[in-house]
Amino acid sequence: MDIPNKKNTSLEVLHIKNMVCDRCIKVVGEEISKLGFNIQFIELGKVGLQSRINVDEVDLIAHVLEENGFKLLNDKKSRIISKIKIEVIKYIHMGETIPERMNFSTYIS
């Protein structure tokens, strides 16, 4: 799915660790929807909610995610590491190709 324009101030983007496949996307989407949140987009490592959420709602989502083997990422360093892992996963498991002459380090940057 396409990520909406980041200028949408009502959008809440959650970064999630351990989302590695389509099944993970399905589970995370179902669990967050069960809690009553409207999902605008979902992809490996990210979920966009249609509205801002408060601290208690973040804690609730974090708890449900942890019950299913995922973790909400709150700090920038963890998010960067997760993004790199996701690109590696896409490259290996989802058939994404890179030009023959491009270094892998260039691809993930």
Task: State residue 89's pLDDT score.
Answer: 77
Question: What is the four-CA torsion angle of 15, 18, 23, 28, rounded to 10 degrees?
Answer: -40
Task: State residue 71's pLDDT score.
Answer: 95
Choices 3.30.505.50, 3.40.50.360, 3.30.499.10, 3.30.70.100: CATH for 12-108: 3.30.70.100
Distance CA 35, CA 56 (A): 12
| Regions of the chain short of the pLDDT cut 50 | 1-6
Task: State residue 47's pLDDT score.
Answer: 97
Q: Are 94 and 74 in contact (CB under 8 A)?
A: no
| Reported pTM | 0.71
